[in-house]
Amino acid sequence: MPSYHVHATTSARPDTVWHLLIDGRSWPRWSSGIDELVEDRSSGLDPHGRDGVGTVRVFRSGRTVAGERITEVVENRRIAYEDTFNPALRDYRAVIELGPTATGGTTITWRGTWSARPGIGWLMPFVLPRVMQRGADDLATYAADHA
């Protein structure tokens, strides 16, 4: 099964990074790979930006629309999700973990596994690790700049 495992570090505190992760509405602000949270296709979004287990967040990137269901939340430390629909991936599961640094910042570890769908899916082992590294880097930079 293909996988990725990426890391980033930010000077922002873990709770600052956490608030960006748990609020699906913030993802288009900090991720250069996400154009929009498609709210009318999402479900269970928390009005206060604290999406919980079972929330489905649907994101648009260019013409591609994909949905993810939150499967686990450990406050300020871990969020896990799985795909609900994705045109290129099957059985996608990901975990984002946050840890404190010795200087008060945060380490971001983002890892995932998937199965490829026929067609464009064969490209994903080459593309997805870079896309996810960019997402982790974007999160780290945005959190530091807006702490």
Neighbours of 40 (CB within 10 A): 6
- Residue 63 pLDDT: 92
Token pair 């288009």 in the structure block, residue: 28
What is the rounded CA–CA span in Å between residue 70 and residue 30?
19
Residue 50 is part of which domain span? 3-145
Number of compact structural domains in the chain: 1
**Whole-model pTM?**
0.94
Count the residues in the chain: 147
Distance of CA 110 to the CA centre of its chain: 8
39 secondary structure, DSSP code: T
- Please report, in tens digits, the pLDDT of each residue of the chain (147 residues total): 899 999 999 999 999 999 999 999 999 999 999 999 999 999 999 999 999 999 999 999 999 999 999 999 999 999 999 999 887 788 999 999 999 999 999 999 999 999 887 777 778 888 899 999 999 999 999 999 998
SS3 state of residue 4: strand
Token pair for residue 47?
Answer: 């009005």
From the number of C-beta atoms within 10 Å of its C-beta (0-12, 13-18, 19+), residue 114 rates as: buried
- CA proximity to 96, closest of 113, 79, 112: 79
Which CATH number characterizes residue 93's domain?
A: 3.30.530.20
- pLDDT tens per residue, range 38-51: 999 999 999 999 99
